[in-house]
Amino acid sequence: MQRRPTPITVNPRRARADHSHETAQDYVEMIAEMIRKTGEARVIDLARRLKVTHVTVSRTIQRLQRAGLVTALPYRSIFLTEAGRKLAEESRRRHEIVVEFLTSLGVPAAAAHADAEGLEHHVSKETLAAFVKHLAKTNRPK
């Protein structure tokens, strides 16, 4: 009697900027990084990193649970599901490509990292491919 997870695309009507997708990606990416670096992901740490209160994080985690991206028990740390890990990995790759690309254009590191946070959610397959191609071109000729 498992309930199927609520798809994170709640409003199929809305074609534009599904912002909750972006939030989901930011969260799973950050959770994955925390687990990798410190062994666990806690609400309080996410809150500090995101500069929001723990309440906001707590509520978002509930939503991500419904979406089947994370698992969490009360007062315990947060884990990624298989789907969550997959999304985190995709997001990370995308993020890194964007940062590298911007850096290769001569954008200062601080700006490159800051911009990547926003840009990574709006880069299509085609544009990402163009970034990769450009990187290959500028890196190859040593």
Partner DNA sequence: TTCATAATGTAGCCAGTACTACAATTTGGA
Partner DNA sequence: TCCAAATTGTAGTACTGGCTACATTATGAA
Q: How far is CA 114 from the centre of its chain?
A: 14
CA-wise closest residue to 32 among 17, 16, 49: 49
Q: How far is CA 44 from the centre of its chain?
A: 18
82-104 and 125-139 are packed helices; what angle lies between their axes, rounded to 10 degrees? 50
By CB under 8 A, which span of 30-38, 44-52, 59-67, 75-83 interacts with its own copies? 44-52
Binding partner selected for residue 72 from DNA, its own copies, none, CB under the kind-specific 5 to 8 Å limit: DNA
Residues touching DNA, count (CB under 7 A): 31
By CB under 8 A, which span of 2-10, 29-37, 78-86, 115-123 interacts with its own copies? 115-123
Ranges within 45-104 binding its own copies (CB under 8 A):
50-52, 102
